[in-house]
Chains A and B, each alone.
Chain A
Amino acid sequence: AQSVTQLGSHVSVSEGALVLLRCNYSSSVPPYLFWYVQYPNQGLQLLLKYTTGATLVKGINGFEAEFKKSETSFHLTKPSAHMSDAAEYFCAVRLSAGGTSYGKLTFGQGTILTVHP
């Protein structure tokens, strides 16, 4: 079974400050990991993904995440927050193998990011 835990349902930062959103996963096989962003009353937009290879992944809007197998983590960071980053962020995991898990993403509970001027 796979699961995702996002530490902190709300994170608040000042504009220009570092953004750090935490995600830990549990998976019996090597996972594929994703970060999605959701703006109010909108669908989900993929920020970045880890599949195989380089553990530091760069995404859109200046975000990046690092896959750390030893810590089972995939934290999302951005060096300098912008007001437009205010949204809800979801970490998701998908098993890399296993027919019964085909197509199934398991999402964390989400983290709402607030950016103060």
Chain B
Amino acid sequence: DTEVTQTPKHLVMGMTNKKSLKCEQHMGHRAMYWYKQKAKKPPELMFVYSYEKLSINESVPSRFSPECPNSSLLNLHLHALQPEDSALYLCASSRVGTSSSYNEQFFGPGTRLTVL
């Protein structure tokens, strides 16, 4: 299984809602990533988890709260979002190695989020 799955595919939420995005992989990867991609822009890294511990937080606002409950799952909890947070949210995973390892990232199809 070389697939990263994400649910839901589409999500519409109001600014007062609380919702969660889910990501799952069964490739045995121990690094998982959240990216945000605005229209016609490249993906921007938000968070990196390594061995279920948060290792990189790219100064993301606290209304985005990541969680890695086990080695296969990654969640992104959303609360009090703004319309400008509307974007495609991509999950990725990779092996963990030394800093000299290339560890290519495998991406999921993304969740298209619209904040009203």
Contacts and interface: CB of A to CB of B under 8 A. Distances in A.
B45 A46 contact: no
Interface in B45-88: 45, 48, 50, 55-56, 88
Interface in A72-116: 90, 94, 96-99, 101-105, 107-110
A44 B35 CA distance: 11
A6 to B, nearest CB: 9
A90 B48 CA distance: 20
A109 B104 CA distance: 19
B107 A103 contact: no
Contacts, number: 65
Interface residues of A, number: 26
A46 B92 CA distance: 12
Interface string B1-28: 0001010000000000000000000000
A49 B104 contact: yes
A103 B90 contact: no
Closest 9 pairs (CB-CB, A-B): A107-B42, A43-B107, A44-B107, A51-B102, A32-B102, A43-B109, A103-B48, A43-B110, A97-B99
Interface of A: 32, 34, 36, 41-46, 49, 51, 90, 94, 96-99, 101-105, 107-110
Interface of B: 4, 6, 31, 33, 40-43, 45, 48, 50, 55-56, 88, 90, 92, 94, 99-100, 102-110, 112
